[in-house]
Amino acid sequence: MPISDHQLISAWKQVLTLSKLEHGQTVTILTGASTHPQTLACALVATQDMGAIVNRLDLPPANGEKAHSRDSLAYLGTTPLTGNTAAIAMLKASDLVLDLMTLLFSAEQHDILASGTKILLAVEPPEVLARLVPTEADRARVLAGAAKIAAAREMHIVSASGTDLRCPMGEFPVISEYGFVDEPGRWDHWPSGFALTFPNEGGAHGTIVIDKGDILLPQKRYCSDRIVLTIERGYATRIEGGIDAELLSDYMAGFNDPEAFAISHIGWGLQPRARWSTLGLYDREATIGMDARAFEGNFLFSLGPNNEAGGSRTTTCHIDIPLRKCTVSLDGRDVVREGKVL
């Protein structure tokens, strides 16, 4: 169901307050061809009401002809900021950028963040934003999970359906996504709620079984049968199963890039207000599937790049796969047991 402007303005104000927006600071709202009009209108009201100096920067889309779908997270290549020094200067001069366009991870985004500008991505539909509006408790929960990852040297994931994956860790930083930007130079995504890192380069090994009912993103569909991934030296070297395995293999082959098969981020969902079942209620073009990524207790792993965390792998292909009913342990101690966060 839709929500009122009043509800969405209140949600924006909650996010902006948690993000420590102060009177007189400069906010630039980044928009594009798929920006939701209500999200934009309410962001304009909320930021001005809090006394900010507010700009809007609208950029034309990039890479539409190369992406295989309209999903804004499906193709990680150049962005509308690539080579756009005027736009970069405007964003660097802002205290806060509200990204209603989907800038995605890029050298330009790192450059803007390094200047101290905060960036908050918000592209889910208004009612999803309002339901999953972040809280201080979300931050505390995610930071607690992140601290456990930072202290560990191996993540081991098992499930009754046959997953048995070992990921040595320590080469890459831990990333916390809790839905607001409370520090200079911070990037976050409203809504979210997970802690993640990346396996040491070439280190992940074992088997991942994507079971019936598990979700593939950006396909945004529930698997109807099992897909078995063999993981060797950090890469998925075999993708086996029935029609779902064939669909995944065909999609990935379209990028013609062996780096697409690398194990990317690993972590688990920590958002109790996000639900596994929500994706089934939405048209696939209406959502990017953040409920699926963030629902509490899923083991979220990805195939694709690690440059987000400072690694050298850049590939335009990026698959996020949340698995249910896994047990995740760090150095032998369970943190998620059969899909329940401990």
Nearer to Fe ion, 14 or 264 (CB): 264
List interacting residues with Fe ion (CB under 5 A).
Answer: 302, 320
- Letter string b/e over residues 305-322, b meaning 16 or more CB atoms within 10 A of that residue's CB: bbbbbeeebbbbbbbbbb
How far is it, in rounded angstroms, from Cα 76 to Cα 274? 25
3-state secondary structure of 216: strand
Q: How far is the CB of 318 from Fe ion (least distance, A)?
A: 6
Exposure string over 242-258, b if 16+ CB within 10 A, otherwise e: eebbebbbebbeebeee
Give min distance, CB of 71 to Fe ion, in A: 12
Q: Say how far apart CA 179 and CA 124 lie, in whole Å.
A: 12
Separation of alpha carbons 154 and 224, rounded Å: 31
Q: How far apart are CA 269 and CA 194, in angstroms?
A: 5
Nearer to Fe ion, 94 or 302 (CB): 302
Residue whose tokens read 């930007």? 181
Residue 265 beta carbon to Fe ion: minimum distance, rounded to whole angstroms: 6
CB of 104 to Fe ion, least distance (A): 10
| Least distance between Fe ion and beta carbon 277 (Å) | 21
Cβ closest to Fe ion, residue 126 vs residue 267: 267
- Could you tell me if 176 and 187 are in contact, meaning their C-beta atoms sit under 8 angstroms apart? no
CA distances from residue 126 to 2, 7, 40, 286 in whole angstroms, order as listed? 8, 9, 10, 11
For Fe ion, the closer of residues 126 and 297 by Cβ is 297
CA separation for the pair 300, 269 (Å, rounded): 7
Looking at the Cβ atoms of 47 and 302, the one nearer to Fe ion is 302
Question: Least Å distance between CB 304 and Fe ion?
Answer: 7
Considering beta carbons, is residue 117 or 302 the nearer one to Fe ion?
302
Tokens 């996020």: give the residue: 320
CB of 161 to Fe ion, least distance (A): 22
Which CB atom, from 108 or from 320, has the smaller least distance to Fe ion?
320
Q: Which two tokens stand for residue 157?
A: 């994931």
Least distance from C-beta 160 to Fe ion, angstroms?
25
Nearer to Fe ion, 6 or 70 (CB): 70
DSSP string, 303-332: ES--GGGT-S---SB-EEEEESSEEEEETT
